[in-house]
């Protein structure tokens, strides 16, 4: 491949351009495949690596181990961003894909807790952190590499192919897991077959490394190397001076933070809302999300192409604004069409918890752990029961020291204070309250689960597809925008950090934050305030302070 400046090429996509895009995108697909495997198999992994704990705490520890990968992504951005600006784009993202692939393969052969005891979960956390570090360095390298090969006026289109990789990686991981389950059977898969998808990643690693070894270095980096103009201290130049540091900060708050929450809300939180809140069975919910992704994924390419015509900024800002304005009606629509009985009950018989606020705890306890946590205060008991049935409720203050009560329509159920009882009395009181409140919830029409026969499936699919289209609006042009905001000598370092803080922290912890808001308020839609506030913040900051870059000459 020639090391001449590709920006002078104004024709169609060449064979070399396609090779660059394919190599960068395929490698990123495989890295996302590796990353998603753990999240999809967290429940199985919990059994093997946290078996010293009860099932609920074990699952939570498995999820926290998964979250560790998100937490360390910004550190990977700094480490590998620096390497990318010092030694080159090609070799750096060769390193990241090897680390990701080897770490994932090692999870597949890692001895369990039953074999090596506490060392098993410790090693698992280490491998998850290595995966997160590698992912933190991968995206910036792939985006920078493709953008620096792209002709002027086509960077949005070329880099948009990378944006599809997270979705494709998710599909690939789900297909491999489903295939292994079908071939091996659920029992064998749970016992040892769960290792196979991790082991398969080694084959994908070999393919990715072979493809990337065929590539030459980025022409812009090669030019800097020949001229001796590379940065000697990319971290200092990126973050140690205000002229570039402020652009990094603005890129985070005015671009990637909003992009991230729209991305995670449109795919992950939508799935969580369907399964946990609307009680849609997981298979049906996953099929809906998969169908919406299949329909809308082309939007990544379309909006990347469009950003070359009208600019990156207006498309991303429009996506953030549309999401902020329409999230409440869309998610209420999902309730109305996805679980009509739940929607009707909440309208006809709204629930109100009347309690002394001091008697109410913040019940931020995931469902899998609730059976291991004992709520004894009168307010906590009834809220726990309401949360378990996804009953949307409001709170009303009661006089200090009074017992909590629940009003569902015209029916009032008085709670009990288990802390004042002991032994059989407490158990009997708990059982009676549970039975009375459950009967009132059932009588008001609140369903235990969504009824697929009552579901308006076309409308659910339409709403989910709209959410994914918002994702494509904010995500399709983001790589080109970030690349164009920073000079070549520190581009890899400068763009990687805001991207991974935005997506690893603002986005990665969205489901947890949103879930916490729901439990704090009792409102099943309260979790939407988090992505809405962040999206509005990004819209305001990005609109006022970030420049349009589609016509920027990135060769400088």
pLDDT digits (tens, 9 = 90+) for 12-21: 677 777 878 8
**Domain 14-230's class?**
mainly alpha
Give CA torsion, residues 286, 292, 294, 299, to 10 deg: -140
Residue 395 in 3-state DSSP? strand
pLDDT surpasses 90 at 250: yes
Between 367 and 95, where is the model more confident?
95
Residue 152 in 3-state DSSP? coil
Burial class (CB in 10 A: 0-12, 13-18, 19+), 329: exposed
Residue 407 in 3-state DSSP? strand
Segment 493-511 shows an average pLDDT of 88
Low-confidence winner among 264-268, 300-304, 314-318, 507-511 (lowest mean pLDDT):
507-511
Fold of 241-339+450-556: Growth Hormone; Chain: A; (1.20.1250)
Residue 508 in 3-state DSSP? coil
pLDDT surpasses 90 at 106: yes
pLDDT surpasses 90 at 306: yes
Residue 182, token pair as written in the block = 């079908």
Angstrom distance (rounded) from CA 482 to CA 473: 15
Q: How many C-beta atoms surround the C-beta of residue 194 within 10 A?
A: 24
Per-domain residue ranges of the chain: 14-230, 241-339+450-556, 349-443
Give CA torsion, residues 488, 489, 494, 495, to 10 deg: 30
- Measure Cα distances from 296 to 274, 293, 476, 493, 502 in Å: 19, 5, 12, 31, 23
Burial class (CB in 10 A: 0-12, 13-18, 19+), 392: buried
* Architecture in CATH for domain 349-443: 3-Layer(aba) Sandwich (3.40)
Same fold, 14-230 and 241-339+450-556: yes
Residue 526, token pair as written in the block = 């309260």
Number of separate helices (H) and strands (E) present in the chain:
27, 4
Under 8 Å between Cβ of 501 and 473: no
Under 8 Å between Cβ of 360 and 416: no
Q: Which phi and psi (to 5°) does residue 7 adopt?
A: -65, -20
Strands 411-414 and 351-355: unpaired
Under 8 Å between Cβ of 430 and 375: no
Phi-psi region of 401 (alpha: psi -120 to 50; beta: other; left: phi over 0): left
Angstrom distance (rounded) from CA 32 to CA 42: 16
Under 8 Å between Cβ of 3 and 219: yes
Between 374 and 75, where is the model more confident?
75
pLDDT surpasses 70 at 373: no
498 falls in which pLDDT band (50, 70, 90)?
very high
Per-residue b or e along 334-370, where b marks 16 or more CB atoms closer than 10 Å to that residue's CB? bbbbbbbbbbbbbeebebbbbbbeebbbebebeebee
- What is the pTM (predicted TM-score) of this model? 0.86
Q: Residue 46's pLDDT is what?
A: 78
Pick from 445, 428, 378: nearest CA to 406: 378
Under 8 Å between Cβ of 238 and 244: yes
Residue 114, token pair as written in the block = 């039953």
For the chain, give the percent of residues with pLDDT over 90.
37
**Average pLDDT taken over every residue of the chain:** 85
Q: Residue 457's pLDDT is what?
A: 96
- Measure Cα distances from 223 to 14, 20, 202, 226, 493 in Å: 21, 18, 34, 5, 18
Low-confidence winner among 246-255, 357-366, 458-467, 499-508 (lowest mean pLDDT):
357-366
> Could you read off the pLDDT of 192-245 as tens digits, one per residue?
999 999 999 888 888 888 887 877 777 777 777 776 666 777 888 888 888 899
């Amino acid at each position: 491949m020639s090391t001449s400046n590709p920006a002078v090429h104004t024709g169609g996509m060449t064979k070399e351009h396609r090779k660059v895009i394919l190599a960068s995108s395929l490698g990123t697909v495989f890295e996302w495949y590796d990353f998603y495997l753990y999240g999809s198999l967290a429940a199985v992994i919990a059994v093997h690596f946290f078996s010293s704990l009860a099932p609920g705490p074990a699952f939570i520890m498995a999820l926290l181990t998964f979250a560790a990968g998100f937490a360390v992504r910004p550190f990977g951005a700094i480490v590998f961003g620096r390497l990318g600006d010092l030694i080159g784009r090609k070799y750096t993202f060769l390193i990241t894909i090897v680390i990701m692939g080897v770490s994932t393969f090692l999870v597949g052969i890692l001895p369990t807790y039953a074999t090596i005891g506490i060392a098993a979960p410790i090693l698992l956390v280490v491998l998850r952190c290595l995966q997160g570090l590698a992912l933190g360095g991968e995206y910036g390298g792939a985006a920078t590499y493709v953008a620096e090969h792209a002709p002027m006026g086509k960077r949005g289109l070329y880099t948009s192919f990378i944006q599809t990789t997270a979705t494709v990686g998710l599909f690939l991981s789900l297909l491999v897991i489903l295939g292994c389950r079908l071939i091996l059977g659920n029992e064998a898969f749970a016992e040892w077959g769960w290792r196979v998808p991790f082991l398969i990643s080694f084959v994908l690693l070999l393919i990715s490394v072979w493809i990337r070894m065929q590539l030459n270095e980025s022409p812009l980096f090669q030019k800097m190397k020949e001229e001796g103009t590379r940065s000697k201290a990319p971290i200092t130049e990126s973050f140690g001076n205000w002229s570039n540091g402020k652009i990094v900060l603005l890129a985070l708050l005015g671009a990637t933070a909003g992009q991230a929450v729209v991305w995670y809300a449109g795919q992950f939180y939508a799935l969580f809302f369907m399964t946990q809140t609307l009680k849609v069975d997981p298979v049906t919910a996953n099929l809906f999300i998969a169908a919406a992704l299949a329909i809308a994924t082309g939007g990544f390419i379309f909006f990347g192409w469009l950003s070359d015509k009208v600019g990156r900024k207006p498309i991303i800002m429009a996506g953030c604004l549309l999401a902020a304005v329409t999230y409440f009606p869309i998610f209420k629509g999902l309730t109305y069409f996805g679980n009509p009985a739940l929607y009707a009950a909440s309208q006809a018989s709204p629930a109100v918890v009347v309690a002394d606020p001091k008697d109410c705890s913040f019940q931020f306890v995931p469902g899998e752990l609730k059976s291991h946590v004992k709520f004894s205060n009168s307010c906590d008991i009834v809220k726990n029961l309401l949360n378990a049935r996804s009953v949307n409720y409001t709170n009303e203050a009661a006089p200090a020291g009074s017992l909590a009560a629940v009003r569902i329509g015209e029916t009032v159920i008085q709670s009990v204070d288990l802390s004042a009882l002991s032994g059989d009395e407490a158990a009997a009181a708990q059982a009676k309250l549970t039975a009375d409140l459950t009967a009132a919830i059932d009588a008001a029409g609140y369903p235990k689960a969504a009824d697929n026969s009552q579901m308006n499936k076309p409308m659910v699919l339409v709403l989910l597809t709209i959410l994914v289209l918002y994702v494509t609006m904010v995500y399709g042009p983001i790589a080109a925008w970030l690349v164009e905001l920073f000079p070549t000598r520190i581009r890899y370092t400068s763009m990687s950090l805001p991207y991974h803080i935005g997506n690893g922290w603002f986005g990665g912890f969205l489901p947890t934050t949103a879930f916490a808001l729901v439990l704090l308020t009792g409102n099943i839609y309260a979790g939407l305030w988090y992505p809405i506030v962040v999206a509005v913040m990004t819209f305001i900051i990005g609109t006022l302070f970030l420049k349009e870059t589609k016509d920027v000459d990135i060769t400088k």
